[in-house]
Structure 1
Amino acid sequence: MRILHYTLGFPPARSGGLVGYAIDVMNEQINQGNEVYALFPGGLNFINRKMQIKSGSFSNIKTFELINSLPLPIFGGIKTPADFMVPTSKMLFINLLKKIKPDVIHIHTLMGIPKEFFSAAKSEGITIVFTSHDYFGLAPDPSFYYNKKSYDQDNTDAYWCESSKKAYSTKKLRIFQLRCYPLLRKLSKKISSINLKGNSNQIELEKNTEHINTVSEREYGLLRNYYKEIFNLIDKFHFNSTLTKDIYVNNLSILSQKEYQVISITNKDIHIQKEKSLKTKVK
């Protein structure tokens, strides 16, 4: 079987439970004789701003890096909804899918991936499976928490707007996609801020100091519909707990028409070999 995963990335740029779990699953599928590929949101090209794809590898996993992906709101919400709905070429993804011909696509996150990828997969008749590692897409951040409480029972356009008031700007989120970000992240643990421009305009990597959001609730409503349309293009859902399943069911009406199952993804043996680097080449 040919399996294409969409994950957040690979060490050293990305780490955490989602990344570790996805790598473990891919390696096990390879051990079982499957042909496995991974697509992930990667770096930026400041000369050509269009989305592009680079092929490469991580360990024994064949990878495809999505250059100039949509922004990655890893925490703190979304400040400018329009930046997360920028249309791109559907043919970019159709060409990729025709090349590798996956039997199934396994989605581990909605961060960075545009709706055109999902519509391309449906055009090619490929089954899409989604594993819930967090709540991004149901909420503008992965946690569904704001002001120390969950708002999964009050999930409205107004709350998306409210919970994103102090979100990072898109420009600051793009810092997390710079190839030098792993180094900046290490440096940020030693100093409180990094002067990226060589002057007094400092950008703090660990502390959010953005201005209050002034985007309208209507814009967040458009963004919520954007993610609902993506969820509607997914065929099967794997939830990592009964609680997660309940939250998704309560906040996503289309699940009444979908196949879903609760499957624990806890793995105390997850181990990421940090010494291995991601190798890429331009297609």
Structure 2
Amino acid sequence: MRILHYALGFPPYRSGGLTKWCVDLMIQQAKEGHCVAMLWPGQMGMLNKKIAIKKQEDVCLKEQRLQSFEVINPLPVSFDEGIADFSAFTANAGTVAYDKFLDAVQPDVIHVHTLMGLHKSFLQAAKRRRIRLIFTAHDFFPVCPKVTMFRHGVICSNVKNCEECGVCNATALSLKKIQILQSPLYRRLKDSFIVKKLRKKHRDGYLSEATADDSAVPVGSAEDYKKLRNYYYSLLKLMDIIHYNSSVTKSVYEAVFDLPKNCIVTITHADITDNRRIKKFSDDQLHIRYLGPQSGAKGYFLLKEALDQLWEKKQNFCLDVHFQPIEMAPYMEVHPRYAYEELTKIFEQTDVLVTPSIWFETFGFTVLEALSYGVPVVISGTVGAKDILVDGAGIVVDNLTPDRLCDTLINLTTADLKKMNEIIVQKQPIMQIEAMSKQIETDCYGWNL
């Protein structure tokens, strides 16, 4: 079969969970013998605004050859910085370039991983050819232009009415900056020392919510953002099926959209293997691991507040983190950023993984990674990976607060951890990429395998 994916691009130009999952799935599909390609939003011309599809060199990953097609002059890609120029993000491109492209490539299915940069005319051209369209909801961009729905330490309470969108999106990048970020020059310089340093500084500020500013001048009205959401809704309604990776993702989308043609298929990635084993736990010290960034939305500051309370009551634990904290604590052990190859060592030295996300986490790969090594987990009720957790393999804390997390951890005994570990080893399924690919192909693509 011929499978065309639409995503943001290949590594190292693009990174993150969406890119990794999409590329891992593409590689697996190529291994199965399918012809696999990616269409991605590329450069935006300063003067020439003509839409074109440029065939790039095939990308060879893990001995699999993947075709690469760049959209010249796509819609702007906003990332999670917000949207202020509504006309630029909803412009109609016509279908000439897409008609020609689809007639040449002739995909059996088109798997869309993001609406960023995507012309509606591409989907319309596919619909006219009766090509099956699948949308995987990796994030909440169609609901919230800032993607996260997270504001001032909590989930935004005005998601439905868009009342705060004008101020929240004041951080939106200018079109000139977006043109630079989508340029061939930036692709070459992205991993240079200076650019990486600037990117890290920006992301650190963004994740710490330093950019939140209620005094900012609104860049649009609530009605503007409702119209923008309705535009993305019109794109979603063109899909033959919406793939949700968790019940959390489904509930968020269904709170604002009516999308009856959907399915839930939990996810994995190619580096997940079944490494479950019986672990040894010590009564002397509890090793807590946090694998997220220093982010309020990911629950790091909530976790620190909970552990500050715990430290006052008993001091027989440590917290392992993989970044340099803004504020150190006596119970912290700081490690460098990690690679997947280091997970064996990391989880050997972990008693429990804590994933305390405050925002809605569509899935949460770190939870599956921990389980794949037999490590018990404590997660918030907003983490989509709770769907895969068998009874007794971990603890889900709904309506997470520092007090509730502190109480959960202070009552966590060595016997509890041993029991959780045994249940994980005996009962916890660890989905492999091969099984997920088959389920995507049957439940989403509609293939009878």
Q: TM-score range by the shorter chain?
A: 0.7 to 0.9
- Equivalent residue, structure 2, for 1:278: none
Q: Which residue of 2 aligns with 1:188?
A: 195
Structure 2 unaligned runs (5+)? Answer: 273-338, 341-449
Of residues 144, 149, 172, the one that matches 1:144 is 149
Give the number of aligned pairs.
259
Conserved 8 A contact 1:188-1:205: no
What are the residue-to-residue correspondences of 1:190-205 with 2, within 5 Å? 190=197
Question: Conserved in 2, the CA contact under 8 Å of 1:166 and 1:212?
Answer: no
Q: Conserved in 1, the CA contact under 8 Å of 2:24 and 2:270?
A: no
Residue among 97, 102, 108 paired with 1:92:
97
Q: 1:229 aligns with which of 220, 234, 240?
A: 234
Q: Does 2:118 match 1:113?
A: yes
Q: Which whole-Å deviations, capped at 9, do the CAs of 1:119-144 have from their partners, x for residues lacking one?
A: 11111111101111111112112222
Displacement of 1:107: 0.5
1:128 alignment partner, SS class: strand
Cα-Cα RMSD: 2.6
**Deviations 1:229-282 (CA, angstroms, capped at 9, x unpaired):** 1011011111111101111111112x13x2x1111223261799xxxxxxxxxx
In structure 2, give the amino acid aligned to 1:26. M
Q: Which residue identity is paired with 1:262?
A: I
Q: CA 1:184/1:28 → structure 2, altered by over 3 Å: closer, same or farther?
A: closer
Correspondence for 2:443: none
In the TM superposition, what is the alpha-carbon distance from 1:113 to its structure 2 partner? Answer: 0.5
| Residues in 2 aligned to 1:191 and 1:14: alpha-carbon distance in whole angstroms | 16
Task: Provide TM-score, normalisation by structure 2.
Answer: 0.53
Q: 1:190 to 1:231 in 2, by over 3 A?
A: closer
Matched residue SS, 1:251? coil
Q: Offset of 1:158 from its aligned partner?
A: 2.5
Partner of 1:70, secondary structure, is coil
Alpha-carbon distance, 1:191 to partner: 5.8
1:267 corresponds to 2:274 = no
1:41 aligns with 2:10: no
Q: In structure 1, what is the equivalent of residue 51 of structure 2?
A: 51
Identity, in percent, stands at 36
Q: Are residues 11 and 215 of structure 1, via their aligned partners in 2, closer, same or farther at CA, if it must alter by over 3 Å?
A: same
Please report how far the alpha carbon of residue 213 of structure 1 lies from its aligned counterpart in structure 2 after TM superposition.
3.7
- Secondary structure at the counterpart of residue 158 of structure 1: coil
Q: TM-score, normalised by structure 1?
A: 0.83
Flag the 1:104–1:168 CA change in 2: closer, same or farther, 3 A. same
3-state SS in 2 of match to 1:164: helix
Normalized per residue, the structure richer in helix is 2
Question: Which residue matches 1:161?
Answer: 166
Match of 1:242 among 247, 251, 259: 247
Indicate the SS of the match to 2:54.
Answer: strand
8 Å contact kept, 2:5–2:112? yes
Q: CA deviation at 1:192?
A: 8.9
Q: CA deviation at 1:166?
A: 2.4
1:78 counterpart = 2:83: yes
Q: Please state whether the residue corresponding to 1:112 is helix, strand or coil.
A: coil
Bigger mean CA deviation after superposition, 40-49 or 50-59: 40-49
